[in-house]
Structure 1
């Protein structure tokens, strides 16, 4: 185990004498798709389709719908869209009233909650939807209790995005990023801050559920398992302690400064304006950061405990398509999803706006049209393939607020209002209570 995290974990065990919850291996369900035949109607069919996003997404999605309707003249698409926050309120209201759209865009944070309440259909029943173009561990993240309730649209991987211009200006060269450890990274990030006289910080903090999952998997642990929170308190405390150590060393700004910056858009973030040398985030965001900064950016793997030897990594679906259990036309809905995810012609229209396509054949079809940053994202994903482990359990019903809760306790630790182990135990208890209440 890496020195920093070993030291933190051993100290926490000695001080707290707490036994963690043992994390189990992920069991993989058989592949879905190619299920029982369901006949398509020859009569006119209308499908309501609901998604979140901005204007660029709406325009591209509508063009794909136009193409689909040309190929299937009896099917008419009725689009409904909104921004992220408005979307989930609208979807919850429609679901409660039994009036959900036939096809809906879904997120991993909410998938289990909608599947668990019987609001979605098992897509594995419909042979109109093919799944063999997706990497099995990616497809598995669309499952809940062995049924495929969501078809991954796109994938993302977590990376450290590095501003090479800033590093050149500061004069602190990168360590070997193919094998760097958390200790090496923390020391380097603190050196960047010191060498710049505080004008540039070495890094931003880790900060989301995906990144916590990766750190936990490096420690042979898991965030969720069998519909419950499964992470050991010591693992979670080590994650919190890592960020606190970076504040102490100067690798990151102070807790108060980071709290003030938390709600800023990408183009105003420290990394985008050249005040931070690295940021941990989705690899697909290199495009947005490059546009905002105009800098030379590169994608590198996040640090590990063992020099990147174990298969801890995984690709997370950027989003999914699901079908409502109230739909009167689930076979046609499955056919539409197949077109959206698997058709190369549709893929060229959608491009990478929803992320790197989950279907490898669609990526191949897009290759000639990819921007320089998108090519970096695809190349980075390919470089991580040998490090992919099994799919982790998705966020269970009752734990959809894990991201908000995680950031709240992380801030408590950063401000030293709670110790890492106290925050870890409190977070676990809060999530356990929420899952129990949802059940």
Structure 2
């Protein structure tokens, strides 16, 4: 029943996306579009800024908004914020109805649907005079937030995938903290942990972004899905990855999916909270949250085999801040976005709420003043030592990722074999890719 409801939800989202891509992206809906420059601000300007996150993030952004409005009394910024669950569905619905906010961060997974295919956000190259783009590393922007020559957003921070580990757990099970992880020793150590304590697991839930895509990319050196919409892997490589995944489950290295799937994220996982999970693969922006229950967290490099053709280490901008293409006040929205992400005063308020700031001058100042979590700063530094080739837009397509995750779950529960799942995934991905415009 739960699986059926999830499928219905995905159908609804896809239907909404169809409405968005075929309707709103053409400039319909009665609001001012980028093409006519929007409504020129005369007197009072009102902008809507929506985001998701933790209570700490909410408080920091609200403080920054208040400071900006005190400096610009003609500008009112309406804050709309909440948790991550349901945010994507809500945003897609708002775009479909012409009621999306003026500014919102985008999860990197959404860029293909909303910014590239949907063409629903502004090309920030058109607002260079208002954004202070020179404060950013131009190579980083071009590599991570420019798609089809369109700058879809500005990074709220820099994110990198690392191995976050519980120091006390490692001490308890005699795991050296300086271990250079690969997939072989991860299995070996994890198996020993579970043999010593049946309630302990080296790893919790693994998903497509945090495991399957990097594992396959390390084998192939290619994109998960190529820009010509062909797959960057073959059936044998995918089956090998799924076989390894099943071995982790069978040998007690990985917490059973029947347990881990009860929690939307690892910080809510009771086993993690009790200190009975040793490692979480995650982005640097999640470390502060991981520490809320396990303060003794440290970080090391994501597992990379010696013969890897690509490190598979995910580095990306933390939630690129995008401007609605139909904003009535695009220039004022750009001015606020530029201030929020480049101004030193704003950086002092936001600190590491979106990991380390992407503006190097601001990040250095925060580190020197010890205003950011040193573990977060360390995580970003580690990830940037060996970054993988950035994922292209189609490889982050939400519908395609959901399809693969469903088969990972079937493998986990023994409903299908890794070989059969690999064959079916390739068939269904190819069918889906033919339908994507």
Which TM-score tier does this pair reach, normalised by the shorter chain?
0.7 to 0.9
> Among 415, 418, 421, which residue is 1:420 paired with?
418
What are the Cα deviations for residues 173-195 of structure 1, in whole angstroms up to 9, with x where unaligned?
Answer: 338523x321122112111222x
Alignment of 1:231-270 (within 5 A): 231-232=232-233, 233-259=235-261, 261-263=262-264, 266-270=267-271
C-alpha distance in 1 between matches for 2:401 and 2:270: 19
Residues 1:158 and 2:156 aligned together: no
Residues 1:87 and 2:87 aligned together: yes
Offset of 1:349 from its aligned partner?
0.8
> Is the 1:314–1:389 Cα contact (8 Å) retained in structure 2?
yes
Residues 1:56 and 2:59 aligned together: no
Offset of 1:378 from its aligned partner?
0.8
C-alpha distance in 2 between matches for 1:91 and 1:45: 22
C-alpha distance in 1 between matches for 2:370 and 2:138: 21
C-alpha distance in 1 between matches for 2:360 and 2:212: 27
> Is the 1:177–1:301 Cα contact (8 Å) retained in structure 2?
no
Aligned to 1:105: 105
SS of corresponding position for 2:398: coil
Aligned to 1:173: 175
CA 1:382–1:63: 2 relative to 1, 3 Å: same
Query: Aligned Cα RMSD in Å?
Result: 2.9
Residue ranges of structure 2 left out of the alignment (5+ in a row): 1-36
C-alpha distance in 2 between matches for 1:416 and 1:193: 20
CA 1:156–1:198: 2 relative to 1, 3 Å: same
Out of 307-316 and 241-250, give the one that drifted further. 307-316
Size of the aligned set, in residue pairs, is 395
Aligned to 1:214: 214
Out of 181-190 and 233-242, give the one that drifted further. 233-242
Offset of 1:50 from its aligned partner?
1.9
SS of corresponding position for 2:201: coil
Aligned to 1:276: 277
Q: Which has the higher helix share?
A: 2
> Is the 2:170–2:177 Cα contact (8 Å) retained in structure 1?
no
CA 1:202–1:312: 2 relative to 1, 3 Å: closer
> Among 149, 154, 159, which residue is 2:152 paired with?
149
SS of corresponding position for 2:319: strand
Residue ranges of structure 1 left out of the alignment (5+ in a row): 1-37
C-alpha distance in 2 between matches for 1:243 and 1:181: 14
What are the Cα deviations for residues 197-240 of structure 1, in whole angstroms up to 9, with x where unaligned?
Answer: 32322222432424333223312132133273633133332222
Residues 1:334 and 2:302 aligned together: no
Offset of 1:257 from its aligned partner?
4.0
Offset of 1:299 from its aligned partner?
0.6
C-alpha distance in 1 between matches for 2:269 and 2:90: 30
SS of corresponding position for 2:272: coil
> Is the 2:323–2:330 Cα contact (8 Å) retained in structure 1?
yes
> Is the 1:237–1:420 Cα contact (8 Å) retained in structure 2?
yes
Aligned to 1:323: 323
TM-score for both structures, normalised by structure 1 = 0.80
Aligned to 1:78: 78
CA 1:355–1:395: 2 relative to 1, 3 Å: farther
CA 1:269–1:427: 2 relative to 1, 3 Å: farther
> Is the 1:175–1:184 Cα contact (8 Å) retained in structure 2?
no
What are the Cα deviations for residues 6-62 of structure 1, in whole angstroms up to 9, with x where unaligned?
Answer: xxxxxxxxxxxxxxxxxxxxxxxxxxxxxxxx9985643222222223443333222
> Is the 1:342–1:362 Cα contact (8 Å) retained in structure 2?
yes
CA 1:371–1:41: 2 relative to 1, 3 Å: closer
CA 1:91–1:310: 2 relative to 1, 3 Å: closer
Offset of 1:89 from its aligned partner?
3.2
Offset of 1:434 from its aligned partner?
3.9
SS of corresponding position for 1:47: strand
C-alpha distance in 1 between matches for 2:200 and 2:210: 26
Aligned to 1:32: none
C-alpha distance in 2 between matches for 1:252 and 1:85: 24
TM-score for both structures, normalised by structure 2 = 0.80
Aligned to 1:8: none
C-alpha distance in 2 between matches for 1:182 and 1:130: 43
SS of corresponding position for 1:202: strand
> Is the 1:154–1:354 Cα contact (8 Å) retained in structure 2?
yes
What are the Cα deviations for residues 376-419 of structure 1, in whole angstroms up to 9, with x where unaligned?
Answer: 2212321332312442202469x323443333211111222222
